[in-house]
């Protein structure tokens, strides 16, 4: 039996991780589940998967659900609760399925405790990638990518020598507005932005996909996960999301990973690596797909992608500021406070004012995150 804990069990990745657990009840046991505020779903998950420990985002929510929990289940709350689910108990692997840099401290705590990480929460690597990878290396902890593109690259690199890699290419669907000109973006609605063409995901990443911020975050994520310089990381528009990413080697061979878009596949692979297990995902029929399309990335159409890559190249606290500005701007867009195009303007304004600190420690990163959020909230 493999014991796992999930940070963000009630979200899109969290629920699909539990789908994988439910498909292999003989192989997995759930040690801990951490949710935000969806206590109804958390209680349902508790009844079904019998975790020993759970957490919710506030003490008030914890007080509300205490009497509904089976005897013996330990209950925690807040950031301390996330850290407890991440580092307490006896899970072998912690799936980080929280959205945003709120997941940083608990991810570091899980690594410090020697837990392998099924890493979906890409913002933790963007905001503090050097700290996360350094600690994982020191503790001998595996960072197993859940993000579909990174899982693809991880699979393409299996058994290969890293010195033989010429470049990696991360594919991008183009998001909800891939066929819109910039002019057409002026009056788009929240509902339109939330309609991703290929994937059903949480709201924040769906907006990130529409602005192409998601691809920027993924480039930075790949830089840290695969220890590659930015010059060796490309982005290619691929509307079908069938080729999840690919690697070119120095002999000009290209290895790609393909499949129908279903996150249960990379989630399961992160949990079973290096083995592959049966999955209910729809089988890929290339004959049915008929054609696969590709377009060069247009950095003028998608300025946020360029800003992300530039901040990654700059390093220091620049990616932290990029990420925090984006998180606040997306939240404001989803509350109806700002327009879609204002998201990238806010990121730009934040980066213009950002005073970069090289080689930041955790305290500097947290400080940068806090002050950037304060600024992005009032721009």
Ligand X SMILES: CC(=O)[C@@H](O)[C@H](O)COP(=O)(O)O
Residues at the contact surface with Mn ion, assessed by CB under 5 A: 147-149
Token match 């069990």: residue?
Answer: 9
Question: Which residue in 116, 215, 224, 354 binds ligand X (CB under 6 A)?
Answer: 215
Tell the smallest beta-carbon distance from residue 148 to ligand X (Å).
Answer: 3
Please give the residues from 115 up to 174 whose contact with ligand X meets the rule CB under 6 A.
Answer: 147-149, 172-173
210 contacts ligand NDP (rule: CB under 6 A): no
Tell the smallest beta-carbon distance from residue 333 to ligand NDP (Å).
Answer: 15
Quote the CA–CA distance of 315 and 360 in Å, as a whole number: 9
Residue 14 binds: one of ligand NDP, ligand X, Mn ion, none (C-beta under 5 to 8 A by kind): ligand NDP
Question: Which residue in 77, 127, 214, 245 binds ligand X (CB under 6 A)?
Answer: 214
Residues 256-275 vs ligand NDP: string with x where CB under 6 A? -------x------------
Query: Contact 289/198 with Cβ under 8 angstroms?
Result: no
Quote the tokens at residue 53.
Answer: 């420990």
Residue 84 or 149 with smaller CB distance to ligand X: 149
361 annotated binding-site participant:
no
Residue 65 or 210 with smaller CB distance to ligand X: 210
Quote the tokens at residue 325.
Answer: 């500005």
In degrees and rounded to multiples of 5, residue 187 shows phi and psi of -115, 25
Tell the smallest beta-carbon distance from residue 204 to Mn ion (Å).
Answer: 13
234 annotated binding-site participant:
no
Tell the smallest beta-carbon distance from residue 27 to ligand NDP (Å).
Answer: 22
Q: Burial of 306 by CB count in 10 Å (0-12 exposed, 13-18 middle, 19+ buried)?
A: middle
Quote the tokens at residue 251.
Answer: 């002999």
Quote the CA–CA distance of 168 and 235 in Å, as a whole number: 9
Quote the CA–CA distance of 95 and 119 in Å, as a whole number: 6
13 annotated binding-site participant:
yes
Residues 274-313 vs ligand X: string with x where CB under 6 A? ----------------------------------------
Question: Which residue in 5, 101, 121, 317 binds ligand NDP (CB under 6 A)?
Answer: 121
Choose the stretch contacting ligand NDP; rule: CB under 6 A; options: 4-12, 18-26, 64-72, 351-359.
Answer: 4-12
19 annotated binding-site participant:
no
Tell the smallest beta-carbon distance from residue 189 to ligand NDP (Å).
Answer: 19
Choose the stretch contacting ligand NDP; rule: CB under 6 A; options: 97-105, 291-299, 312-320, 354-362.
Answer: 97-105
Neighbouring C-beta atoms of residue 138, cutoff 10 Å: 10
Torsion of CA 262, 264, 270, 275, to 10 degrees: -100
Residues 37-66 vs ligand NDP: string with x where CB under 6 A? xx------------------x---------
Please give the residues from 246 up to 275 whose contact with ligand X meets the rule CB under 6 A.
Answer: 263
Cis bond before residue 274 (omega within 30° of 0): yes
Pairing outcome for strands 74-77 and 165-172? unpaired
Helices marked H in the chain — which ranges?
12-23, 39-49, 59-65, 78-87, 104-112, 122-139, 148-156, 190-193, 203-211, 213-225, 264-272, 286-289, 303-314, 318-334, 340-353, 362-378
Choose the stretch contacting ligand X; rule: CB under 6 A; options: 88-96, 207-215, 223-231, 276-284.
Answer: 207-215
Query: Contact 149/245 with Cβ under 8 angstroms?
Result: yes
In degrees and rounded to multiples of 5, residue 121 shows phi and psi of -70, 80
Quote the CA–CA distance of 68 and 46 in Å, as a whole number: 10
Tell the smallest beta-carbon distance from residue 97 to ligand X (Å).
Answer: 12
Question: Which residue in 33, 120, 347, 365 binds ligand NDP (CB under 6 A)?
Answer: 120
Residue 215 binds: one of ligand X, ligand NDP, Mn ion, none (C-beta under 5 to 8 A by kind): ligand X
Beta-carbon contacts of 138 under 8 Å, excluding residues fewer than 6 positions away, are none
Helix (H, G, I), strand (E, B) or coil at 227: coil
Helix (H, G, I), strand (E, B) or coil at 344: helix
Contacts with ligand X by CB under 6 A lie at: 147-149, 172-173, 175, 199, 205, 209, 214-215, 263
Contacts with ligand NDP by CB under 6 A lie at: 8-14, 34-38, 57, 82, 97-99, 102, 120-123, 147, 199, 201-202, 204-205, 263
């Amino acid at each position: 039996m493999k014991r796992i804990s999930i940070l963000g069990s009630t979200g899109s990745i969290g629920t699909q991780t539990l789908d994988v657990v439910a498909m292999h009840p003989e192989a997995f046991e759930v040690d801990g589940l951490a949710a935000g505020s969806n206590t109804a779903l958390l209680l349902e998950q508790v009844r079904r998967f019998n975790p020993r420990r759970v957490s919710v985002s506030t003490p008030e929510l914890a007080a509300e659900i205490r009497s509904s929990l089976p005897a013996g289940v330990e209950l925690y709350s807040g950031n301390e609760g996330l850290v407890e689910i991440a580092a307490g108990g006896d899970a072998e692997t912690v799936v980080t399925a929280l959205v945003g840099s709120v997941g940083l401290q608990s991810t570091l705590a899980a690594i410090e405790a020697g837990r392998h990480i099924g890493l979906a929460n890409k913002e933790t690597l963007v905001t503090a990638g050097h700290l996360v990878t350094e600690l994982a290396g020191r503790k001998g902890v595996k960072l197993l990518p859940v993000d579909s593109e990174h899982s693809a690259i991880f699979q393409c690199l299996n058994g290969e020598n890293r010195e033989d890699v010429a470049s990696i290419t991360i594919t991008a669907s183009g998001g909800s507005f891939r066929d819109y000109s910039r002019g057409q973006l002026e009056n788009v609605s929240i509902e339109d932005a939330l309609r991703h063409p290929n994937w059903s995901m949480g709201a924040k990443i769906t907006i990130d996909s529409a602005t192409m911020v998601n691809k920027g975050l993924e480039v930075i994520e790949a830089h840290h996960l695969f220890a590659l310089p930015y010059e060796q990381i490309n982005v290619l528009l691929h509307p079908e999301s069938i080729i999840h990413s690919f690697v070119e080697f120095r002999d000009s061979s290209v290895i790609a990973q393909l499949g129908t878009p279903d996150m249960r596949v990379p989630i399961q692979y992160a949990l079973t690596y290096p083995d592959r297990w049966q999955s209910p995902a729809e089988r890929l029929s290339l004959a049915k797909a008929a054609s696969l399309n590709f377009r060069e990335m247009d950095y003028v159409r998608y300025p946020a992608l360029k800003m992300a890559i530039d901040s990654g190249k700059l390093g220091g606290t620049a990616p932290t500021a990029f990420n925090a500005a984006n998180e606040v701007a997306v939240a404001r867009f989803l509350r109806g406070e700002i327009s879609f195009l204002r998201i990238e303007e806010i990121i730009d304004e934040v980066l213009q004012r950002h005073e970069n600190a090289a080689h930041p420690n955790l305290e500097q990163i947290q400080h940068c995150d806090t002050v950037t959020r304060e600024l992005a909230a009032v721009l």
